[in-house]
Amino acid sequence: MHERDSDLPLANIRVVEFSHMVMGPSTGLILADLGAEVIKVEPIGGDRTRTLLGSGAGYFPMYNRNKQSIAIDLKSPEGVAAARRLVEQADVLIENFRPGAMVGLGLGPDDFSTSNPGLVYYSAKGFLTGPYENRAALDEVAQMMGGLAYMTGPSGRPLRAGASVIDVTGGMFGVIGILAALEQRHRTGKGAVVRSSLYETTAFLVGQHIAQLAVTGNAARPMPERISAWAIYDVFETARPEEQVFIGVVSDSQWQAFTTVFGLDDLAADAALAENNARVLARETLLPRVRELAKGFAREDLLAKLEESGVAFAPIARPQDLLDDAHLNANGALLDLTLTDGRSVRLPALPVEINGALPGVRRDLRSPGADSRRILREWGFGAHEIDMLLAAGAIAGPPVPAGRAAR
């Protein structure tokens, strides 16, 4: 383990998380990575996210490190009562169930107004207050109706982004709201009800395109068809067509450096191309020249020249290529985790440095209910109570080894 909890910014913040899939778990992940004690409440048998196939297979390992697991049957009165006692001692509750589900269980915000008035109650939802708030929603639904899919694909072919960007960004906004509410609690002593949503998050992300319409009078075109603000801002083939490179020359000084390093003396000397907007108007002439230039280089050689020039550039990579990335391997941005079946995996760290360090792994991924006994004991349940809850099936946890007292 890399850090002790007490060394981290959110040490001593207690979080009880009722969530699955991505948005709620990503909120809990961020808080846990920053040092909060996050208790993940799973159903008996475990969160079904653990067993998703295809593109969902990576959800659980990515968004549930540094948490503890307790398995509770929220369909039983005893299970709900145990969950309530945990929440009554928590600083933050996270939930992303369907609208009304937590209220129906007796675990809604109003249920803790007296017993835990300082609680920050966070709900990750599809929509904020309004006509749509009771609709079911998914990341892809929000991208489609929020204009992001339209902007990502070519005309007539709306395309979702290639990651759960709205789930994760919505969770990030949730963290912002939670931290703001905790700071307010320092002054008022009172908690708050915080909500973030997929739809409003999507609207925020496409806000720049809405603003573009206001500024220019022209609606934004999908990104594959956009008129770029820069002449050289595209993907180029190298000597091997499958090894592509993005190049962005976004300032007049970068243009001078780019043309100098690549020996484009005639373009460097052309005063008509000295300013960005003039180069944009000459884009149809400049782009073929740069495309031909790029094809004359092996990718690694082209990347070296681009780095020398100081322009923005990037090799086109696949997610798995990041595992071998020199930068991510040098700065600790890839974390070693152990899956619950014992296999090892490397996954990205929280992308925030604090005092020069990235948050690391303090707790590996937990099996369902692995911490049930210890959590209940540390949160004030007596040994007899715990045994009774286990016997009733209201909670589940690992068996006590023969000859050893429960700890």
Residue with tokens 């991208």: 143
Degrees, nearest 5: CA angle 96-97-101: 140
What is the distance between the alpha carbons of residues 43 and 61, in angstroms, rounded to a whole number?
17
Sign of CA dihedral 163, 164, 170, 171: negative
Which residues on adjacent β-strands are paired with residue 21? none
- The residues annotated as belonging to the active site are 167
The amino acid sitting at 101 is A
